[in-house]
Amino acid sequence: MTSPDRDQLTAYALGILPPEEEARVRAALDADPALRAQVDADQEALVALAEALPQEPVPGGAEERLMARLVRERPEPAAPVVSAAPPVTRRRPNRTWLPLAALGLAAALALVLVLRPEGDPLRRYASTPGATTQPLEANGNRLGQLVRLPDGRAYVYLAQPAEAGRIYQMWQIQGGVPVSLGLFEGQGFLLTGLATGATVAVSVEPPGGSPQPTTTPILVQTL
């Protein structure tokens, strides 16, 4: 069996191969663990790239415009040729459109990730290849979990939601002074751009947050 080339593996990872070719590539992957690991890594990298995009509001009609562009840029199938001439050797199909299709589908995947419900972010971050998880504790009480991601980010998850009418707020302690990093989205907060050894804290604040903590932090953690 001929080993799939890079274009075929990319197309397989993106799910854009015709059924027969997809079956051949799948058989090759089943027979070669190294190739399977390569494709798995490609798929994980694509998802990680999409998840790393800023969670900005999607402009109205963006999904429709994106899908319309993908349809426009999809290559037209070649018209069948009727000929009495003897069969000739089949030429290798032109795959120059694959990088463009890959970019388009990567953008579509990113859009889906932005539009879809958040789901379980703790499980998603904890399952990231290379991530490590540790418990968050204060005064002997288990408060939640800290997930350290291989790209330097960290996800703080608190097991109990804030009480009604209150919200969790994240702070970085710089020279003994708390600097607001923002409000939690529910029970989780994704920390970005902080150096190893930075100290963060969580306080319970009124809706909308506060310029400075109004309560004693429930958690102080060194990254």
**Per the domain annotation, does 84 fall within a domain?**
no
102, 137: one domain: no
Ranges assigned E (strand) in the chain: 132-138, 141-148, 154-158, 167-174, 177-183, 188-191, 199-205, 219-222
Q: How far apart are CA 44 and CA 95, in angstroms?
A: 23
Confidence of residue 15 (pLDDT cuts 50, 70, 90): confident
34, 53: one domain: yes
141, 164: one domain: yes
pLDDT of residue 116 exceeding 70: no
0.85 surpassed by pTM? no
144, 58: one domain: no
70, 162: one domain: no
pLDDT digits (tens, 9 = 90+) for 80-107: 555 555 554 444 444 444 454 445 555 5
**Per the domain annotation, does 109 fall within a domain?**
yes
How many domains does the chain contain in total?
2
68, 150: one domain: no
